[in-house]
Structures are given as structure tokens and as C-alpha cells.
């Protein structure tokens, strides 16, 4: 059954609702607002893309859903989880849970799984591939070793690893990079999660393997009906995979819309810049337009737009001295930019 074809009832709650998530990190002389008022929903069976330049807070945001951020991170806000398979997990705020407690452990790896940014480090060189997949299954699905092995072999087959009986007893160094990534996906999916968080799952792979892994994730989503939070800086991957997109810049979501809106009707100057800097087929002779400048540190940025210094459409005296409001442009499109707020309009017309 294709869950993407199921029409979402209007009153149905999203699987995950992140509301005003803040992650502060105490530096030597200042506080870094690494994640600053981030809000988004992930609907059941759908894919949300989280995109933005390096250092904008994508990994911290996604790891906080697993309650896995380092202890120097001070996290506040809400990450409301609405499980469809466990009614006790209705409206649980993951931020309030003890990161080492029983409740988090019953969510992590079982109902919500994550593929980490550096997949090679997710596998131990000391244990066989089979043992590592079985470990998660034994922890969350069955205590029966025979049954766990059967599931592990089936997962290896599902992610396209042939000769699975032989491969089961091999070590990670005997696998290629693409195959190791498939194993990491098999591990993440072996417990049938409701939500898969994939943090740059293909960055370390060459393009052909990247396309295969993406196809694989899509087909597994189709089969298992899980939702995906896909973290990437690659807009091509976003276009290929996502239903909705949240664009992050300097710890904030600056634009949120359906994938179609983001590509055909981008509003935020940063989103427009990202799209312009993307290579397109048939335009080899045209020079790419990079976004000039670099991302500053998210310190004392609450009362100005973090993109101000790089923005070609900035309004001096507005964007650099005020907190930027979030403007809802339509039911599924919001943007955090003065150009679209009433205040910005007044200043432009003055
Ligand atoms: N443990 C930490 N201690 C101090 N600063 C941190 C820590 N973890 C992350 N940061 C900082 O928080 C900000 C956000 O980091 P994060 O890893 O979420 O970025 P990202 O968007 O995932 O970037 P990338 O695309 O490079 O993976 C960065 O400025 C980073 O330097
Ligand atoms: Mg990251």
C-alpha cells in the first residue's frame, strides 16, 4: 500500500511537530544560538527536507529528535511525537525526556531511527555486519536469535546486498563504501521505524551510488510507509526526494514550503541564492552564481537578520536592527524575511 496516496485527514496530527526549538551552546565569552526558534511538522509517510549551508544547525536539530545532542547543548522548546503504533506515545515532548531514560530508549532506534552524517563511524570494525544488524533487532524486535538472523538477512537482501548469507559473516572493511551505507540503512530500518532521520546519507558516496541509495530509500519508504527527515545541503537530492522543504540559515528556518513552491516560487533571498548556485542541465556555458560571503557565528543575531551582510535585497535600518518575523504567505508557504512582512513593505514604499 502506498501511504503517499492516503489523503491526510485535516484533524490528523503530524507524526512529529517541532515547535520553537532552541539549542544554545555556552562558548568561552558568549552563547551560541546554534538552533533558534525552529518549527516544522513531519507528516506520516512523507519526506521533509532540511537544507542549508554548513553550520546552520541541521545536525543539531535532527539529533535533538533522537535526544542525542552533546551535553553542552541547552535544548528548550517542543518536539511533539505522535506515534501511530503506540498510543502511550501520543503528544510526548521528546525535549522533556531524560536522554538516557527508558522512554527515550523505547523511541530511539525503534520508532525513530537515524542514519548519521558519517556512516562509516556507525559501524564497528570489530564485529561482523550480521552481528551489528542483529544487535538492534534483538534489542527492539525479538529475543529469538534465529528469528533475528532471519530478519537481518531479509534486510540485507532488501537493501540490495546479494550473497547475503556470506556477507552476513563479513566485517565492514570487506564492504565498499556504498555497501556499508546500505548496511547502515538496513540497520536503521530493521525495526520498522515510523520516522527515519537521514543526515547527509549520501555525502560520502559517488554520484551513481548516491542515486542508488536514494532510490533505495524511496522504495523502502513506499514499502514500509515511514516518514523521512532528510538532511542535506544538496538541492538536487531535495528535488528528487522530498514533499516539503525547510530551508535553514544560521540556526533558523528562513523558508518553509512544498518542494514545488521552493523551486518554482522561492521567496527568501537565501533560498533564491541557493537555487541560482545549483548546476542545471543544458546550461553548461552559464556561470554558476555562488552566494557571496560566509555564514557568521550565531551570536547576538536575535535582533537582526543573519543573512543581512550577504543579502542583495536588504533594507538598511530594518533588517539589521529588528528581529525578523515569520510571515505565512499561504497555507503551505512561510518565509522569515522583512521583504514579505508588513513592516518591510512600509519601509520599501516610504
Ligand atoms: N558540541 C558542540 N560544541 C560547540 N559548538 C557546536 C557543537 N556542535 C555543533 N556546534 C556548532 O553549532 C552550529 C550548528 O552545527 P551543526 O552540526 O548542526 O551544523 P550543520 O548544519 O549540520 O552543518 P554541516 O552541514 O557542516 O553538517 C555550528 O556552528 C557548530 O560549530
Ligand atoms: Mg551536519
pLDDT in tens, 41-84: 999 999 999 999 888 999 999 999 999 988 899 999 999 999 87
Judge whether residue 249 has pLDDT over 80.
yes
Backbone torsions φ then ψ of 269, nearest 5 degrees: -55, -30
Convert 65-133 into a string of H (helix), E (strand) and C (coil): HCCCCCCCEEEEEEEEECCCCCHHHCCEEHHHCCCCCHHHHHHECCCEEEECCCHHHHCCCCCCHHHHH
> Which pLDDT value is given to residue 152?
94
Q: Whose CA is nearest to atom 29 of ligand 1?
A: 55
| Max CA pair span of the chain | 74
Residue 53 Cα: closest atom of ligand 1? 25
Mean pLDDT, range 185-206, rounded to an integer: 86
User: Rounded to 5 degrees, what are φ and ψ at 168?
Assistant: -55, -35
CA 56 / ligand 1 centre spacing (Å) = 7
Stretch (H or E) spanning 166: helix 164-168
Q: Are 3 and 45 in contact (CB under 8 A)?
A: yes
Beta bridge partners of 196: 113, 228
Question: Is residue 148 helix, strand or coil?
Answer: helix
Phi-psi region of 103 (alpha: psi -120 to 50; beta: other; left: phi over 0): alpha
Produce one character per residue of 266-294: b if its CB has 16 or more CB atoms within 10 Å, e if not: bbbbbbbbbbeeeeeeeeeeeeeeebeee
| Cα–Cα distance, 138 to 141 (Å, whole number) | 6
Ligand 1: residue whose CA is nearest its atom 10? 34
Q: Is any ligand 1 atom within 6 A of the Cβ of residue 68?
A: no
In this prediction, residue 1 has a pLDDT band, given cuts at 50, 70 and 90, of very low
> Between β-strands 16-26 and 73-81, what pairing exists: parallel, antiparallel or unpaired?
antiparallel
When mean pLDDT is compared across 93-102, 210-219, 311-320, the lowest value belongs to 210-219
Amino acid at each position: 500500500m502506498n501511504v503517499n496516496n492516503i489523503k491526510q485527514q485535516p484533524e490528523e496530527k503530524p507524526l512529529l511537530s517541532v515547535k520553537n526549538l532552541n539549542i544554545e551552546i555556552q562558548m568561552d565569552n558568549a552563547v551560541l544560538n546554534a538552533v533558534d526558534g525552529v518549527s516544522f511538522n513531519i507528516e506520516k509517510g512523507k519526506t521533509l527536507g532540511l537544507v542549508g549551508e554548513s553550520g546552520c544547525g541541521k545536525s543539531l536539530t535532527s539529533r535533538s529528535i533522537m535526544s542525542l545532542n552533546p551535553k553542552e547543548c541547552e535544548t528548550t522548546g517542543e518536539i511533539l511525537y505522535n506515534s501511530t503504533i503506540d498510543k502511550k506515545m501520543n503528544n510526548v515532548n521528546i525535549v522533556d525526556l531524560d536522554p538516557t531514560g527508558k522512554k527515550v530508549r523505547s523511541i530511539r532506534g525503534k520508532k525513530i531511527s537515524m542514519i548519521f552524517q558519517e556512516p562509516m563511524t556507525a559501524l564497528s570494525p570489530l564485529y561482523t555486519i550480521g552481528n551489528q544488524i542483529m544487535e538492534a533487532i534483538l534489542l527492539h524486535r525479538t529475543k529469538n536469535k534465529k528469528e533475528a538472523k532471519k530478519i537481518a538477512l531479509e534486510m540485507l537482501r532488501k537493501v540490495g546486498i546479494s550473497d547475503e548469507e556470506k556477507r552476513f559473516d563479513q566485517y565492514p572493511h570487506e564492504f565498499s563504501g556504498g555497501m556499508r551505507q546500505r548496511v547502515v540503512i538496513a540497520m536503521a530500518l530493521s525495526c520498522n521505524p515510523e520516522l527515519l532521520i537521514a543526515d547527509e546519507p549520501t555525502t560520502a558516496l559517488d554520484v551513481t551510488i548516491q542515486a542508488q541509495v536514494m532510490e533505495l530509500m524511496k522504495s523502502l519508504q513506499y514499502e514500509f510507509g515511514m516518514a523521512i527527515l532528510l538532511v542535506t545541503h544538496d538541492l538536487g537530492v531535495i528535488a528528487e526526494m522530498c514533499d516539503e522543504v525547510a530551508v535553514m540559515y544560521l540556526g533558523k528556518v528562513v523558508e518553509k514550503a512544498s518542494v514545488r513552491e521552493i523551486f518554482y516560487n522561492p521567496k527568501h533571498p537565501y533560498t533564491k541564492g541557493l537555487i541560482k548556485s545549483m548546476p542545471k542541465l543544458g546550461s553548461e556555458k552559464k556561470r554558476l552564481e555562488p552566494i557571496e560571503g560566509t555564514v557568521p557565528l550565531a551570536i547576538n543575531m536575535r535582533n537582526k537578520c543573519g543573512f543581512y551582510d550577504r543579502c542583495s535585497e536588504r533594507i538598511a535600518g530594518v533588517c539589521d536592527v529588528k528581529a525578523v518575523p515569520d510571515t505565512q504567505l499561504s497555507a503551505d508557504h512561510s518565509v522569515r524575511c522583512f521583504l514579505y512582512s508588513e513592516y518591510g513593505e512600509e519601509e520599501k514604499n516610504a
